[in-house]
Structure 1
Amino acid sequence: MSASEPAIMEVIADHIMRVMYFDLFRYAVTAAAMFAVIFIFKGWADLRRIQQRRASKGDYAREITSSVRTVFFFGITTLATLFLREAGIIRFHFDSFSPAVLAVQAAAMIVVHDAYFYWMHRGLHTRALYQATHLHHHKSRTPTPFTAYSFSVWEAITEAAFVPLFLLVTSLLGIPYIGMAILIFIWFQIIRNVMGHAGVEIMPAGWVDNKWVGWINTTTHHDLHHSTFNYNFGLYFTWWDRWMGTEHPQYKERFRAVAQPLRRARDKVTGGGFA
């Protein structure tokens, strides 16, 4: 072993710990925060609970254990992305940037990821792949905030592959990506993922009927995927499910049934009307 090799190994070990801690921190903070909100505001959560069935202690244990495993594979992928950057294959920077460019790049990454997730998700539901890849996630028939990263090894790898693949394509196209846009994306991804698995509807009544926001997924949208399996494959938006005819036919009715009780309870207290 040369004199430089121990130093290289030390640098690698340092990066691994930093990356693993960051990915674990994102998952733990967002999932625990959502769980705490549901626990503290139990009255609100009970009114907006999507399923009558409750997750068991075994469900929580499985989800947390497999999510920690997912964090490991996400961390390995992040580490690989950093080394590809050092090798000059992938390019992104943290230099000065325009807020407008930052916003466009973060939005582009989110929109492309939504398309990637939809088609990847549908692929995992095929007979050839489902049992080996996606079945583990669907063991959480009644999702909880901790379901967000409850993946099999193969699904974790497939999920994590998006960032290096996206950056590889943008690098080949000569688009200098902003590191801050990537950070915005990965925080947005975990927050929306946890919201989608919350088990209680987060969005206000009328959301699905509003033309300005109705295309943004709700918790009910993804919860229906867990309870029915063959509908609602999208992550952030309803676009692909609508275009491909895979949106649950009763999605809006289910959302209204969950969201309206909160309005009725509020109007009962305030004396307000209900439309």
Structure 2
Amino acid sequence: MAFSGWRGFRPGMQVPMSDELFYLLFLFGFYATTVVTYFALGYGLTWVNGRNPERKIQKGRGSDRRRKAEIRQSLASMFSACLPLTIGLYAQQRGWAPAPWAFSWWTAVPLFVLCMFLYDTWFYFMHRLLHTKWLYPLHALHHKSVAPTIWSTYSEDVLDNLLLQGFSAAIVFVVPFPPAILIGQRLFEHFNGMFGHCGFEYFASSTTRYPSPLLSTTFHDQHHSGFRYNYGNYFSFWDRVLGTISPNYDQRVKTFEQEEPPLVLSQAIHLAEVQEKAD
């Protein structure tokens, strides 16, 4: 049986199983991939952070006391992050949504950028709704992490995360993105979210402040510490247009640019540099 909904991703793919079983396996496989990379990047970046304490954004504020609770919650919320993607792909396969455009390397980049912008739009307005008094009870759990860490990326109510990630299930009825684009965007969002919550700044540059719409880790970190600013995810576009950008975001990034120490990956080298400064 040919899976017509996947044309452009793997043309002519044959699978000796029902649609339902295939997508159920895809859901759990994608969830397993998300969990494995969550821990791999989590421990890896924690190791790097430990060697670069000067890059911590909220200095003097503890951020690890909720780690166990954040990880437990994340294991549930990561499933709800994978579910909308599976629903969207299944809807395409069953013909409930318009047939996806054919995938080609010539159109991959512009389609991916369009998908990012549309997701960022969805995320911004859904995020603002979650900060209203009616929906904030769903979002409050995520904001228990005032100084976020990489472990708090998915530390949120399952329904909260389902609303934020519901883009993948909804967009297929409006824009027929190829499955490869939808999967790529969800993977990018996974890693982007983890770096955005890591609490340490590694990306400060002129490309992450005005007039560029791109963001550094400081952007979302300020959302956790200030609550009423920086609702976007990939871009600062909607925050700037609608006046919800943190007043000191651009200056904070510029300060990091000017004061950011060299990246240290060896503890021995770092200790030698500290000793040299002390002498």
Whether these two folds match at TM > 0.5 is yes
Q: CA deviation at 1:207?
A: 4.3
Alpha carbons of structure 1 residues 154 and 82: separation in structure 2 relative to 1, 3 Å = same
Q: CA deviation at 1:73?
A: 2.1
Distance in 1 separating the partners of 2:182 and 2:88: 12
2:125 is matched with 119
2:160 is matched with 155
Q: Deviations over 1:55-102 (max 9, x none)?
A: 234x1112211111112223433443343233211245596x331212
Matching residue within 98, 107, 116 for 2:113: 107
Alpha carbons of structure 1 residues 160 and 204: separation in structure 2 relative to 1, 3 Å = closer
Alignment of 1:164 onto 2:169: yes
Q: C-alpha root-mean-square deviation of aligned residues, in Å?
A: 2.8
Distance in 1 separating the partners of 2:78 and 2:46: 24
Task: Trace 1:195-214 onto structure 2 (pairs within 5 A).
Answer: 195-208=195-208, 211=211, 214=212
Give yes or no for contact 2:88–2:170 (8 Å, CA) kept in 1: no
Secondary structure at 2:184 match in 1: helix
Alpha carbons of structure 1 residues 28 and 149: separation in structure 2 relative to 1, 3 Å = farther
Q: CA deviation at 1:113?
A: 0.5
Alignment of 1:60 onto 2:67: yes
Q: Deviations over 1:245-266 (max 9, x none)?
A: 1111111222234443324899
Secondary structure at 1:149 match in 2: coil
Matching residue within 84, 90, 106 for 1:83: 90
Give yes or no for contact 1:24–1:71 (8 Å, CA) kept in 2: no
Gaps of 5+ in 1: 1-8, 270-275
**TM-score, normalised via structure 1 length:** 0.80
2:58 is matched with 51
1:39 is matched with 47
Distance in 1 separating the partners of 2:213 and 2:203: 12
Task: Trace 1:1-275 onto structure 2 (pairs within 5 A).
Answer: 12=20, 15-30=23-38, 32-40=40-48, 42-44=50-52, 46-52=53-59, 53-57=61-65, 59-91=66-98, 97-131=103-137, 133-170=138-175, 175=176, 177-208=177-208, 211=211, 214-263=212-261
Q: Which amino acid aligns with 1:200?
A: F
Which one has a larger percent helix, Structure 1 or Structure 2?
A: 1
Q: CA deviation at 1:205?
A: 4.4
Aligned residues: 249
**TM-score, normalised via structure 2 length:** 0.78
Gaps of 5+ in 2: 1-16, 265-272, 274-279
Q: CA deviation at 1:12?
A: 4.2
Q: CA deviation at 1:219?
A: 0.5
Alpha carbons of structure 1 residues 210 and 244: separation in structure 2 relative to 1, 3 Å = closer
Q: Which amino acid aligns with 1:167?
A: V
Distance in 1 separating the partners of 2:95 and 2:105: 25
